[in-house]
Amino acid sequence: AIQMTQSPSSLSASVGDRVTITCRASQGIRNDLGWYQQKPGKAPKVLIYGASSLQSGVPSRFSGSGSGTDFTLTISSLQPEDFATYYCLQDYNYPLTFGQGTKVEIK
């Protein structure tokens, strides 16, 4: 199975900060990667698919980049509603595997 290593596991940031989360795959996965946001008690929500495509309705402050083994999720200006846990998911092949998650907390 492809292992997804996500970092950091948590971070503290202020409203307006630029935030970057990374995900590294144990082998090349082309651009078959998605980013999901999960708030407490809620189901995950897709933000980015295909490594860099913004899901409809997701604010443009979210962006994704990368290909192969290294991927990045960037929030250009953190908003109060962005405090949540973020997961990457590789869907290059089965079994689908998630990163461990990054919890974004208020500084």
Partner 1 sequence: QVQLQESGPGLVKPSETLSLTCTVSGGSISSSSYYWGWIRQPPGKGLEWIGNIYYSGTTFYNPSLKSRVAISVDTSKNQFSLRLSSVTAADTAVYYCAGRTAVTPNWFDPWGQGTLVTVSS
**Which residues lie near partner 1 (CB under 8 A)?**
1, 31-32, 34, 36, 38, 42-46, 49-50, 53, 55, 87, 89, 91, 94-101
CB of 1 or CB of 15, closer to partner 1:
1
CB of 9 or CB of 77, closer to partner 1:
9
Question: Least distance to partner 1 from the beta carbon of 29, Å?
Answer: 12
CB of 1 or CB of 106, closer to partner 1:
1
Residues 6+ apart with CB under 8 A from 98: 4, 87, 88, 89
Specify which residues 23 forms β-bridges with.
6, 71
Question: Least distance to partner 1 from the beta carbon of 14, Å?
Answer: 25
Question: Least distance to partner 1 from the beta carbon of 36, Å?
Answer: 8
User: What is the 3-state secondary structure of 56-106?
Assistant: CCCCCCEEEEEECCEEEEEECCCCHHHCCEEEEEECCCCCCEECCCEEEEE
